[in-house]
Amino acid sequence: MRHLRKIFLVLCASFLGLMLASALGSDVPLLSRLALWSKGASFSSSAAGHATINSGNEHVVAAGASLGGSVPSPFPSAEAQEVPRTSGVDTGAIPLARRSEEEERTIQIYKRAEQAVVFITTITLSVDPFELFPEVQQREGSGSGIIVDAERGIVITNLHVIQDAHKIEISLVTGQTLRAKLLGMDEAFDVAVLQLISPPPSLVSLPFADSARIEVGQRVLAIGNPFGLDRTLTAGIVSSVNRTVKGAKGRLMRGLVQTDAAINPGNSGGPLLDMEGRLIGMNSAILSQSGDSAGIGFAVPINQIRRVLPELIATGKVLRPQVGWIIVDTSQGVMVRRVMAGSSAEDAGVQPIERAIQNGPFQGFVRDFERADLIYKINGTVVRSREEIEELVSQSAPDRPLVVVVRRGGISGQEREVTISPKLG
């Protein structure tokens, strides 16, 4: 039995050796040969270095490095020639992706408009009064701006971008950085007007649109410098118009354009454009709990800015009708809290809650609700909130007096009529 086992092992080794020697002269892999041999296939080599396999009724020709085009052979034929390697990279021009008409228009608008968008950097100096040895601390801020007059180098931005800044620098699309000075500001619309010092002749300004004609649903583009990423483009639609939001210092900003185009910190002062590349507004605020874009942004309509721009450039401020009172909302209505000395309200005899008193060198205020006036009507319109009154006063003509109906001590008090002539201030 032991001798038979040795004979069997010798025969198996001889058979495997023959198979290996045959495979070295053929393109058919050894494992494939064993599989086909188990099915009764026979092998023969052609003069061209191909292996012809006959297996029953099948006739397969394996050429080169594969069997039937799918099984690679680790044993190339002796006649196989080496093929020079190539990089496999097409050095020809790669065709551009086909763009839609709207995409092409957006690209062209951006290329023109980005030249009029600037990157504003500010440096603010402050001193901590509680330090024993106070030191001047420097704080840097940034925002966006729009060139609206290329010849004079006039740039508009948001007031909160440059407020209290000791140094203002403006970076152009060319990479050039210039100093700028403040010409004027308007807190009501959060607008500041800057002028470049020694502006280059290559400046480009944006054309104005008529913001009174924009419609909810129309597409808009916003360009700015969010988080310092200069000249970033975002797109969206006009979500609403004539919005009122509370701005800096609690001041109400009215008539704003709402958009879902992404606006983030650093976008303030940048342009909101229509699909003709015209300026319809200046991005000013966002409504967000995190401080980042939540798809609710607001822009000051360009028509509002155009009305005050000449006055800001000429005088540095906007003169508006002033009554000279401080009013507050109460459970009964709007009451006059305080009246400024020498104001139109004082001249008309309006009575406030807080009246100034003088006691020797000391001055203070005494509260008297029973004599204080509640504002009931202005020019025949019943008013119910401080916002309504401020709106009516701001829209009044400087040369036209306001006819105000007040009630002494509250809503059920004695009614009387006073005439107030607002003063510009």
Which residues are designated catalytic? 160, 190, 268
Q: Residue type for 72, please?
A: P
Q: Say if residues 321 and 396 touch (Cβ distance below 8 Å).
A: yes
> What would the DSSP string read from start to end of 204-249?
--PPB--GGG--TT-EEEEEE-GGG-TTEEEEEEEEEEEEEEE-GG
Burial of 138 (0-12, 13-18, 19+ CB in 10 A): exposed
Q: What is the Cα Rg of the chain in Å?
A: 41
Interatomic CA distance for residues 282 and 259, integer angstroms = 11
Interatomic CA distance for residues 245 and 239, integer angstroms = 15
Q: Say if residues 378 and 389 touch (Cβ distance below 8 Å).
A: yes
Three-state DSSP at 3 gives helix
3-state secondary structure 20-64: HHHHHCCCCCHHHHHHHHHCCCEEEECCCCCEEEEECCEEEEECC
Q: Residue type for 32, please?
A: S
Q: What residues have CB less than 8 Å from 75, skipping those under 6 apart?
A: 23, 24, 26, 27, 29, 30
Instruction: Give the CB-side neighbour count of residue 289, counting CA atoms within 13 A.
Output: 0
Q: Say if residues 270 and 146 touch (Cβ distance below 8 Å).
A: yes
